Structure 1
Amino acid sequence: MAERMSQRLQQLLEPVVNDLGYELWHLESTGAAKSGVLRLYIDSPAGIALEDCETVSHEVSAVLDVEDAGNSNYQLEVSSPGLDRPLANKAHFRRFIGERARVNMFAPVAGQRKFRGVILAVEGDTVDLGCDDQTYSLPIADMAKARLEPVFDD
């Protein structure tokens, strides 16, 4: 049910965000259906400033108010995905091949649930993650959480 609601919100809000000149990077909904937090991560080639978040928040709020007709009470948060941005689909992983990521799985793969390594490839619905001297093929659908892991050079 939550997955269906998330897909519906994605389909409703992505065109709104795109029309404003931004990319809807990720959407998270937490809390109860009648009250909770709706978090949108937006991105653009020029980066994201506070004014960008305000613009998107204003437009998305208006769309949600009309679509929902006042049946829900939610807190809307709009922000940049940041350096440790969430990775939620094939396109996200493809864009960051060669970068480091942290992945937590719902069920163990090769006896472990937590992985840290380099994104090597995306094939079908799996991501090949190089961890130390091993490569793990991790199904995207089985990922509980995945994020880029920024590397800072000294």
Structure 2
Amino acid sequence: MVLLFSNCQQQDNNPTAQEETQSIFPKGELGSKENFTGKAWASSLVANDSTYNTLVGNVYFEPGARSNWHIHPAGQILIITDGEGYHQIKGQARQTLKKGDVVTCPPNMMHWHGASPEKGMQQMYIIPNTEKGIVKWLHPVTDDVYASEQ
């Protein structure tokens, strides 16, 4: 199983901090502790093959969960389908992501993404041109980086 993620912005009407987001896709399988802080669940939607050379899937990040820094050799597209979270490309300010945001992360750019502390986030990911490679996982995102808007 491949868990993938990349550049993107939501609101809380539920009185509980652990608000569940709504998804049209199955929750999927729990991501590896080696690649995520907190719990992230992934479901594959389109498997990689030699015809399309593209991966498509859904990831649900529980509140506070995030990916490690990582790189996609051919880039990545994210479509935020519910919730609220963050995305950051190394050397750039952290972006807030909300339902309806679409983010593109250029090839070979170190980045991370995940949910806000108060609300989970659902994202669909698209990894094109998988013949160039899929993902290179790097080090965890520190609590200071996660909390910083810089």
Normalised to the residue count of structure 2, the TM-score between the two structures is 0.25
The structure with the larger Rg is 1
Going by fraction, where is helix more abundant, 1 or 2?
1
Normalised to the residue count of structure 1, the TM-score between the two structures is 0.25
